[in-house]
Amino acid sequence: MKHALLSASTSHRWISCPPSAKLSEGYEDTSSDYAQQGTDAHSLCEYKLKKALGMKVQNPKSSLKFYDEEMENCAEGYASFVMEKYREAKNLCSNTIVLIEQRLDFSRFVPEGFGTGDCVIVSDGTLTIIDYKHGQGVMVDAEMNPQMMCYALGAINAFDGIYDIENIVMTIFQPRRENISTYSMSKNELTAWAEKVLRPAAELAIKGEGEFKAGEHCRFCKVKATCRKRAEYNLELAKYDFEMPPTLDDDEVEIVLAKADELIAWCSDIKEYALQQAVNGKKWKEWKLVEGRSNRKYVNEDVVADIVQKAGYEPFEKKLLGVTAMTKLLGKAKFDELLGEQIEKPQGKPTLVSITDKRPPMNTAADDFKEEK
């Protein structure tokens, strides 16, 4: 499959750091279990949605390496969400169409720019872009999301002459983070962004020009481990000498907090890069490759169970099904009927996040004490 140098999926990175596109061009694409899991989830989502639309389609489940119950539920939820949005649009415009895994060309603003939209709903008045995210590591926001905006530009390029599109609604559907993020903008606002931000960045990126810039957009860059700009960016923390927080004032603590996650990610990337180089034969001066610790495991679990049972013991333990598995066993309606009053959602573990995070602040014991006083 051909990949665009300036693709929609990598637009956040090359808009922020234009020369990174050319710099990454010579590096091979590396796959991971997480990436394959996402690919499998998208295949299942495509199947569920096409089936819901009454299209003839083959179930891909048997060919999916990472298929499980959670993926099944996520795909079902995605298809239901899209169908709801489709029905809403169709009530307003009888000629509404749904496009699945649609190639979208936005080369009017980006040289050879194209991408594949998970779902595009086109109708008079409103263009709806829905993108499925299976990952749970990073919560994805639809607000001014460059990937979604590139998709929208491609859809407008294809359908604006057929439909009278005025508004764009972009939604990220990320079920494993319980995240449905939606952002709306006018067609005029989108094209203004494309002219002022997207086109200038693309013109620099296609030539490998512009300034290197490090930040959270480095996460999926192919040269993130050895990029000098990223190293400089993270090593700025060294000026604090990593002293204990009591020796730092509040402003200094917040400076460290703002960069801590990226510093940890950078260190992990360096370690992974050095490990892979060593596995491939590189000899580091002060580091060597050794065999890590491993745990014992059975050669054949069926044989082990049979031996233990014949010896008069019970080799299996009984365990209550989890909420998701129990819902699948009973069906949602029966589950709610029988167990609705037995379900609770405990308060999540306190987590420190940026003030820009959309979740409401939680009350602490100290807050409650102040209110009582």
233 and 319 both lie in a single domain: no
120 and 154 both lie in a single domain: yes
pTM of the model: 0.74
114 and 178 both lie in a single domain: yes
pLDDT of residue 168 exceeding 90, the answer is yes
Q: Is residue 152 part of a domain?
A: yes
Q: Is residue 182 part of a domain?
A: yes
160 and 56 both lie in a single domain: yes
Mean pLDDT of 227-245: 75
Three-class SS state of 189:
helix
Binning pLDDT at 50, 70 and 90, where does residue 38 land?
very high
Query: DSSP letters of 230-266?
Result: HHHHHHGGGGGTT--GGGS-HHHHHHHHHHHHHHHHH
Compute CA 333 distance to the chain's CA centroid, rounded to the nearest angstrom.
31
In terms of pLDDT, which residue wins out, 263 or 371? 263
Q: Is residue 213 part of a domain?
A: no
178 and 129 both lie in a single domain: yes
Angle in degrees, 0-180, between the axes of helices 33-52 and 69-92, rounded to the nearest 10? 40
Contact in structure between 164 and 212 (CB atoms under 8 Å): no
188 and 251 both lie in a single domain: no
28 and 98 both lie in a single domain: yes
Give the model confidence (pLDDT) of 79-101 as tens digits: 999 999 999 999 999 999 999 99
Report the run of H or E that residue 329 belongs to, with start and end.
helix 323-330
307 and 253 both lie in a single domain: no
Contact in structure between 116 and 107 (CB atoms under 8 Å): no
In terms of pLDDT, which residue wins out, 250 or 241? 250
Among 171-180, 302-311, 364-373, which stretch is predicted with the lowest mean pLDDT? 364-373
* Cα–Cα distance for residue pair 259/254, rounded to 1 Å: 9
Contact in structure between 113 and 8 (CB atoms under 8 Å): yes
Q: Is residue 291 part of a domain?
A: no
Count of domains for the chain = 3
Q: Dihedral, CA atoms, 213, 215, 217, 218, nearest 10 degrees?
A: 80
pLDDT of residue 1 exceeding 50, the answer is no
Q: What residues make up the domain containing 78?
A: 11-205
Give the model confidence (pLDDT) of 317-373 as tens digits: 888 988 888 888 888 889 999 999 999 988 888 888 888 877 888 877 655 555 555
Residue 64 sits in a domain of what CATH number?
Answer: 3.90.320
Other Cβ atoms within 10 Å of 191 Cβ, number: 16
As a whole number of Å, the end-to-end CA separation of the chain is 65
Q: Is residue 48 part of a domain?
A: yes
232 and 317 both lie in a single domain: no
Report the run of H or E that residue 148 belongs to, with start and end.
helix 146-159
C-alpha dist (Å) from residue 4 to 1, 11, 22, 209, 352: 10, 11, 12, 18, 37
pLDDT of residue 136 exceeding 90, the answer is no
* Cα–Cα distance for residue pair 285/271, rounded to 1 Å: 15
C-alpha dist (Å) from residue 95 to 87, 91, 163: 11, 10, 9
Mean pLDDT of 230-247: 73
Mean pLDDT of 145-168: 94
Domain boundary among 174, 205, 236: 205
Query: DSSP letters of 5-64?
Result: TT-STTHHHHHHSTTHHHHHTTSPP---HHHHHHHHHHHHHHHHHHHHTT------GGG-
155 and 240 both lie in a single domain: no
